[in-house]
Amino acid sequence: MDTPLRNVRSNIVQSIRAFRACDLQHAAAHLGQHFLYANLAPAQSKQDVMDMISEQFLLPATAGKNLDALYDLLTDPIHKAGAQPGFVVVLEHIPANPKFDKEAREQLLDVFRDTADYWHDRKIPFRCFYSFL
């Protein structure tokens, strides 16, 4: 099976562009990697986004408290759980409205960039794809 990730750096946060979430899910399965997906279309505010990511990623509720908590839960506890095969993350329909403005979007994506760096330092693939609503 040819994977759509063959030409994508192993640690990156990028627009989903030509990829489809279902193809990324199949690629993650083919590579034996974790697949995390959140559809944020109904979200209106930063708290909505945080709560939806926490819920859809099946993270403890504390992940929805703030961006630092989200980063902490995407890194250290998972690292301490043992060897990891890698991650493919999809954040679809990140809101673009006055309650979740450009700065809020960049702060959210910075968490995933920092998470990609964390896993890169441990030589674990972490690819995050996103789209805006």
**Measured CA angle at 69 (ends 66, 75), to 5 deg:** 140
Q: What is the pLDDT of residue 56?
A: 95
Q: What is the pLDDT of residue 2?
A: 62
Q: What is the pLDDT of residue 79?
A: 82
Domain range list for the chain: 11-132
Q: What's the CATH class of domain 11-132? A: alpha beta
Q: What is the pLDDT of residue 27?
A: 95
Q: What is the pLDDT of residue 48?
A: 95
Q: Identify the segments of the chain with pLDDT beneath 70.
A: 1-2
Q: What is the pLDDT of residue 78?
A: 85
Distance between CA atoms of residues 52 and 24, nearest Å: 20
Phi, psi of 9 (to 5 degrees): -45, 150
pTM: 0.93
